[in-house]
Amino acid sequence: MKVSVSIVVTLVAFGLSALTRLERYEKYYHGAPAALELTVKDDRGQPVEGSHVQAYYWRPSGVSDEENKDTNAEGKVTVVGEGYTSVRYFLTKEGYYETEGHAELKMPEKDPEHFWERARWEPIIRDEVLKKKRNPIAGIAWSNARLKAPPVETPIGLDLEKMDWLPPHGAGEQEDVRVTTTPAAVWGGKKMSYNVVRVTFDFPREGDGMQLCEADTFSTFRTGYAADLSRPFVRHLVLDRTDKGIQVDLLPYTHYLTFRVRTQFNEDGTIRSAHYGFLYRLIATPAEFSVSLPFFNPRPNDTNLEFDPERNLVPEKELRRRRALRP
111-115, 169-173, 186-190: lowest mean pLDDT where? 186-190
Q: Is 60 exceeded by the pLDDT of residue 5?
A: no
Q: Name the pLDDT band for 13 (thresholds 50, 70, 90).
A: very low
pLDDT band at 259 (very low <50, low <70, confident <90, very high): very high
Read off the pLDDT band of 7 (50, 70, 90). very low
Give the residue-averaged pLDDT of 48-58.
94
- Give the whole-angstrom CA distance, residue 223 versus residue 233: 16
Give the Cβ contact number of residue 3 at 10 Å. Answer: 7
Q: What is the mean pLDDT of residues 275-284?
A: 92
**What does pLDDT average to over the chain?**
84
Does the structure show a pLDDT above 50 at 239? yes
Confidence at 174, pLDDT banded by 50, 70, 90: very high
Residue 193 is predicted with a pLDDT of 53
User: In this predicted model, which residue has the larger pLDDT, 250 or 159?
Assistant: 159
- Mapped onto helix, strand or coil, the DSSP state of residue 88 is strand
Alpha helices in 208-315, H assignment, sequence order: none
In this prediction, residues 234-253 reach a mean pLDDT of: 79
Q: Which of 135-149, 180-194, 220-234, 269-283 has the lowest mean pLDDT?
A: 180-194
Predicted confidence at residue 124, as pLDDT, reads 92
Phi-psi region of 289 (alpha: psi -120 to 50; beta: other; left: phi over 0): beta
* 3-state secondary structure at position 287: coil
Cα dihedral sign for 149, 155, 160, 162?
Answer: negative
Total H helices, total E strands in the chain = 4, 19
Residue 14 has pLDDT above 50, yes or no: no
Q: Report the pLDDT averaged over residues 97-104.
A: 96
User: Is 116's pLDDT higher than 70?
Assistant: no
**Average pLDDT in the 161-180 region?**
95
Per-residue pLDDT band for 318 (boundaries 50, 70, 90) equals confident
Rounded to an integer, what distance in angstroms lies between the CA atom of residue 268 and that of residue 205?
A: 18
Cα–Cα distance, 279 to 22 (Å, whole number): 54
What mean pLDDT do residues 146-164 have? 92
Q: How far apart are CA 25 and CA 122, in angstroms?
A: 20
pLDDT at 9: 36
Q: Which amino acid is at 323?
A: R
Contact 87, 123 (CB under 8 A): no
Please name the residue ranges forming H helices in the chain: 2-16, 21-30, 115-118, 316-324
**Residue 292: predicted pLDDT:** 86
Q: What is the mean pLDDT of residues 43-67?
A: 86
pLDDT at 17 over 60: no
pLDDT for position 185? 59
Residue 160: predicted pLDDT: 97
β-bridge mates for residue 27, sequence order: none
What pLDDT score was predicted for residue 85?
A: 82
Residue of 113 and 249 predicted with greater confidence: 249
Give, in order, the Cα–Cα distances in Å from 272 to each of 165, 262, 300.
27, 10, 9
